[in-house]
Amino acid sequence: MSLKGRCLSSGLATHLDNLSLINMTIESSPIFTPAAEELWAIIPSSYRKHLLSNVWCSNCRINVSISNFSGVVKDGDLLLVGLCSECRGDVARVVEPLSAADVR
Ligand SMILES: [Zn+2]
């Protein structure tokens, strides 16, 4: 009985995971690699907002908000890549571990 219960609950969990994955795609929530997610997780949410709304767009020549972004780790730094909220061009922002530590 306990085995059956476990099967049911794990089946449900998988189902929910799939649902949230679909929702993530529709709402274009951030997609991070596991390593990037680790770095992102230690950043305070207020600083995250600051980072996401202060991304330099070389096309607009202003700081813009990044949208449809994803996170990867490059050379030990967290790199956010996404689209400019103004011109929809590609933008990227490096989040140095040092600056994340500064606000911790
Ligand atoms: Zn732009």
Same domain, 47 and 64: yes
**What letter does residue 43 receive in the DSSP assignment?**
S
Same domain, 42 and 93: yes
- Counting the structural domains of the chain, the total is 2
Same domain, 25 and 37: no
The β-bridge partners of 53 are none
Same domain, 56 and 9: no
Contact 69, 81 (CB under 8 A): yes
Tens place of pLDDT per residue across the chain (104 aa): 555 555 555 555 555 455 444 444 444 467 999 999 999 999 999 999 999 999 999 999 999 999 999 999 999 999 999 999 999 999 999 997 654 455 44
User: Distance, CA 81 to ligand 1 centroid (Å)?
Assistant: 13
User: Distance, CA 11 to ligand 1 centroid (Å)?
Assistant: 43
Same domain, 51 and 98: yes
- CA–CA dist 19, 50 (Å, integer): 29
Classified as helix, coil or strand, 75 is coil
Same domain, 66 and 22: no
With 0-12 / 13-18 / 19 or more C-beta atoms within 10 angstroms meaning exposed / middle / buried, residue 77 is middle
Instruction: Give, as residue ranges, everything with CB less than 5 Å from ion ligand 1.
Output: 57, 59-60, 84, 86-87, 89
